[in-house]
Structure 1
């Protein structure tokens, strides 16, 4: 009897130790508790928390080689796509932009350059209409306007990853960007900004890596002013069957190899390729943006749908 009781006690203790040594998700599942909704990390099925942690680690790993890899993977075409996004935005001096998941500063720097160019043309037109001014008056007016080269425009770069922000700040310092630019550590699903604050919200190649796209879209809507514009540049779905097969071949056979050779990281770039295939197609993303409250939602395919720019307005 005593021997049987001792054996039962030993088995119970062993089972407890086994349960305690399991990951938290496994313990919850054993107890019949929910481990969180199942989500995709590339082609893997993971919990929401696991996805968030894995994606953070991906960008922690690739931050220093991010720009080089973008040029290598897209043969430099990503620069053209971002230029098209900026021309579609067509910001004027005074615009307040929030660029989410923009840690390396690509959109922010383009915004500053674009607004400066518009501001410069405005100044030149203004001086042409004042031919009767003296040289001193023209000089004083020019100096005054040059001092405020962005016309009170501001761009706030918000990214969840400290390493990406660090790279962006270093680039800004190296390239001489400081005026009208600020950096904020923040989550796209829970932005640290007031309601109705920004004129434009952009997210370029970032929404694909957000854990809850619906929450990110709701936050975009919240922080935009009435009349504000949402712009999303993201890899999408190619409609041409032949091109789609060639694109898949390049994506799965070439891009991870480039990741290994250039960044020493095969797995992160394998995930990035897989995440594109798991991302909602153009019409589905359009419906999600409309569900978040945006109006006049449309999209423009670039390079046969390899990427798409989605646009919507908060009315």
Structure 2
């Protein structure tokens, strides 16, 4: 990546001719520099009161500051989030999300064998983390209703950012899943402002399906969030994640993709949303996300069974995920043991 980023380093050098500079002046100049350096406070006294740091894009920040910075970024992009996703991915993100939902097949199909089942009357309870604008939740409910004829499955949309949840409420205000009328109340979707690393508002073993799409790379402690996902899921419940990957397997395509990401996306953010910095962070956050094999290993470490996984000769995890569009994004799944 260093080769793709602008070179901003400038070198300062003294003139090779030093005859005009007296030795006394040079000694005084050096002494003043040493004195100034002694007056500078230690950097750690100003960066953070905590010794623990994490990454915020390519920057290093104190752990306790990351969540607030991520919240600020998504507050800034909330109103233009869906439009920007279309521009950044040329609309392909919609195909990824459609495939993601179809692969999960949410809802419980009613058949003669299931009509008498107590579970069929209640449907599934789905938790969509970092659900923000509600595009995944809406797809889930549409699929459950139209494909599986399930009118009972419900979705909890959870996000740390209230502005993103506000966009989700706007989306569902005109849907058949969030009626507020007293004559026909229909609340198959609810909204929860929460940090994915602390889902104390949700009972253990209460969720059938946990989804997170393009959100987990922004979490400060991803392993903690995975452990919370494991806690809230029922035995046999499914964890499913759709996320960008840090690099493509093909080096040539990876180079083209990186040039597009770091060159075009921040510029589009500046032109369309008047916010280059936030979209620069979004690109950098992808670069800092674990590889497919690393993230599949993290899911397994949280206690999940990773479908389709294999172990290579070196013991490294191979498989257990589905690459999309040459590996620009990937779908990861984990099943909580029954």
TM-score bracket for the superposition, by shorter chain length: 0.7 to 0.9
Alignment partner, residue 161 of structure 1 = 161
Alignment partner, residue 20 of structure 2 = none
Report how far residue 261 of structure 1 moved. 0.9
Higher relative contact order (CA 8 A, sep 6+): 1
Instruction: Give me the TM-score of the superposition, normalised by structure 1.
Output: 0.80
Alignment partner, residue 194 of structure 2 = 186
Any gaps of 5 or more consecutive residues in structure 2?
A: 1-39, 109-122, 179-185, 308-319
Higher relative helix content: 1
Instruction: Provide the rounded CA distance (Å) in 1 between the counterparts of 2:231 and 2:204.
Output: 5
RMSD: 1.8
Instruction: Give me the TM-score of the superposition, normalised by structure 2.
Output: 0.74
Instruction: Provide the rounded CA distance (Å) in 2 between the counterparts of 1:35 and 1:184.
Output: 29
Alignment partner, residue 118 of structure 2 = none
Q: Is the 8 A contact 2:304 2:336 kept in 1?
A: yes
**Is the counterpart of residue 253 in structure 1 residue 282 in structure 2?**
no
For the structure 1 residues 46 and 95, does the alpha-carbon distance in structure 2 shift closer, same or farther, using more than 3 Å as the test? same
Counterpart among 51, 67, 73 of residue 52 in structure 1: 67
Report how far residue 28 of structure 1 moved. 8.5
Alignment partner, residue 322 of structure 2 = 300
Moved over 2 A (4+): 25-29, 174-177
Superposed counterparts of 1:1-315, under 5 Å? 26=45, 35-93=50-108, 94-120=123-149, 150-178=150-178, 179=186, 180-191=188-199, 192-236=201-245, 237-297=247-307, 298-315=320-337
For the structure 1 residues 67 and 26, does the alpha-carbon distance in structure 2 shift closer, same or farther, using more than 3 Å as the test? same
Any gaps of 5 or more consecutive residues in structure 1?
A: 1-17, 121-149
SS of the equivalent of 2:133 reads: coil
Report how far residue 177 of structure 1 moved. 3.3
The alignment of Structure 1 onto Structure 2 pairs a total of residues equal to: 262
Cα deviation code 1:216-268 (max 9, x no counterpart): 00000000000000000000131110000000000011000110111110000
Report how far residue 171 of structure 1 moved. 1.1
